[in-house]
């Protein structure tokens, strides 16, 4: 399957478990991969036949920043379900990194793969 990807999408938002985190914005960095068949878009050279990474990037930023969230696991799961629901893809991979969370680490995060209903468990 072909892939449209978005790497290192930066989102500044209210994210975190602890009280002090609920009054500030912190940076999340997302890597997103969406399965799609690109052949028709390539044959016809038509953006309407593929997944528009610019549109998807804006939607993800708007969605994440709309409300505070505690866990990056929640961000990953909600973004995955959003993409499966709103865009023509049946498989998404999402990595959510929180580079400021652990001073001794370059970054920390979670990674998930989700399928549309009926595609795979």
For the chain, the first-to-last Cα distance in angstroms comes to: 18
Q: Which is nearer to ligand LV4SOB2L, 50 or 97 (CB)?
A: 97
Residues involved in catalysis: 98
Q: Which residues contact 112 (CB under 8 A, 6 or more apart)?
A: 76, 77, 80, 93, 94
Q: Would you give the binding string for ligand LV4SOB2L spanning residues 57-96, x where CB under 6 A is met?
A: --------------xxx-----------------------
Q: DSSP assignment, residue 38? A: -
* Cβ closest to ligand LV4SOB2L, residue 51 vs residue 96: 96
> Judged by CB under 6 A, does residue 103 bind ligand LV4SOB2L?
no
Cα separation, 44 vs 72, in Å, equals 39
How far is it, in rounded angstroms, from Cα 91 to Cα 85? 11
Could you tell me the smallest distance in angstroms from the CB atom of residue 9 to ligand LV4SOB2L?
18
Nearest to 79 by CA among 67, 61, 97: 61
Least distance (Å) from ligand LV4SOB2L to the CB of residue 21?
Answer: 5
Residues within the interface to ligand LV4SOB2L (CB under 6 A): 16-18, 21, 71-73, 98, 101
């Amino acid at each position: 399957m072909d892939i449209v990807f978005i790497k290192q999408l930066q989102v500044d938002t209210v994210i975190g478990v602890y009280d002090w985190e609920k009054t500030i914005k912190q940076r999340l960095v997302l890597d997103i991969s969406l399965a799609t068949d690109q052949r028709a878009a390539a044959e016809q050279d038509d953006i309407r036949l593929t997944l528009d990474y610019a549109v998807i990037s804006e939607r993800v930023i708007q969605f994440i920043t709309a409300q505070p969230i505690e866990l990056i696991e929640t961000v990953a799961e909600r973004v995955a379900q959003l993409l499966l629901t709103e865009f023509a893809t049946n498989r998404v991979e999402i990595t959510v990194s929180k580079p400021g969370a652990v001073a001794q680490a370059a970054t920390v995060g979670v990674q998930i793969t989700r399928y549309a209903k009926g595609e795979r468990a």
